[in-house]
Each structure stands twice: as C-alpha cells, then as structure tokens.
Amino acid sequence: MSSENAQEFRRAALGLLARAPAARLAELLDALPAHELLRAPEIGTVMLRGRAGGTGAAFNLGEMTVTRASIRLDSGAVGHGYVQGRDRTHALRAALIDAMGQDDPAGVEQRILAPLRAEEAARRAETARDAAKTRVEFFTLVRGEDE
C-alpha cells in the first residue's frame, strides 16, 4: 500500500469508527490487544466551523463534545481515536483499531471495517427510505394559457 493510499485508508477507517455505535465496536473488538497509553482517553470540545455568506468567512457553528485517545501497540504502531460524545472506551477502541490497521490493513478491513461499512450503508438506506415516504411530487396540468 502506498503512503497516500495508506493515509486515505486510515482517514476513511477513522471516520467509520467514529460514526459506528460504541456498543457495536465493543462486539467487534471484544478483547483489547496489549497497548501503552500515550494519551489516556480524555473528554473535551472542538469548535465546529463552517463557511457562511458569500465572502466565505469562517463562522463558528458551535462546540461539539469529543473524546480522544492515543495509544501505541507493542509492535510500535501509534493509533489515534477521535469520537463524538463522552464514551472513553469508544475512543480507545477507535485508537486501537487505527493502530492495528497500520500493521494489518487487510485483516482489520475484513474483521471490523467491512461489517461497519455495510451496517452504515444499511442505516443510511433506511433513513433515506423513511424520508422518501414523505416526498411530495408536484406536477402541473396543461392550462392552455400559453397558446
């Protein structure tokens, strides 16, 4: 895997791990591998910024509660986890899977990321289906005014 691909893989994996339900992550990674805590899980806030208005000036939307953790596996791989909310074990598992993914991308993809990705796609499809029920289609009958 080239370094650019590896970075893209990590980026996608971290997003997936952050969005996954913490309980599901706990099922997929039941026993934590041996690791050293570089930064124990800690709770803080990050400012969400967006661009508003035509000038593109940054706009502070609000703060979001975030939990982060950093660990190192015995192999030397360093993993970071950032997740929304206050669940320390969620952040820790995300960091562990990030580090494990650097050692064994294929295995982690198969055991953890692929199921999470499928479930996320299913969740999104379901939301889209629910929303689709309320869709209203407008159409106009020919009124004959244009002639």
Partner 1 sequence: MNDLSGGFTDPPAQSANAFRAILDAMARPGRIVTLDGLGRGPAPISAAAATVLLTLADRTTKLHLASSHDHVPLRDWIAFHLGAPLVAAEEASFALGSWAALAPLDRFAIGTPEYPDRAATLLVDGHDFDAEPVKLCGPGIRDTAELALPEREAFHRNHARFPLGWDAIFCGGDRLAALPRSTEIA
Binding-site ranges for partner 1 (CB under 8 A)? 36-40, 42, 70, 72, 76, 78
**Between 23 and 38, CB nearer to partner 1:** 38
Six-digit token string for 40: 């124990």
Nearest CB to partner 1, comparing residues 19 and 39: 39
The answer to whether 49 and 40 are in contact (CB under 8 A) is no
CA distance 64 to 32: 27
Distance in Å, CB of 49 to partner 1, minimum = 17
The residue among 69, 10, 60, 2 whose CA lies nearest residue 37 is 69
Q: Which is nearer to partner 1, 6 or 38 (CB)?
A: 38
As measured in angstroms, the least distance from the Cβ of 78 to partner 1 is 6
3-state secondary structure 57-73: CEEEEEEEEEEEEEEEE
User: In this structure, what are the phi and psi dihedrals at residue 141, rounded to the nearest 5 degrees?
Assistant: -75, 150
In the complex, minimum distance from the CB of residue 4 to partner 1, in angstroms, rounded to a whole number: 20
Asked if residue 108 lies in contact with residue 14, where contact means CB atoms within 8 angstroms, the answer is: no
CA atoms lying within 13 Å on the CB side of residue 141 = 1
Nearer CB in complex with partner 1: 36/63: 36
Give me the least distance between CB of 2 and partner 1, in Å please.
20
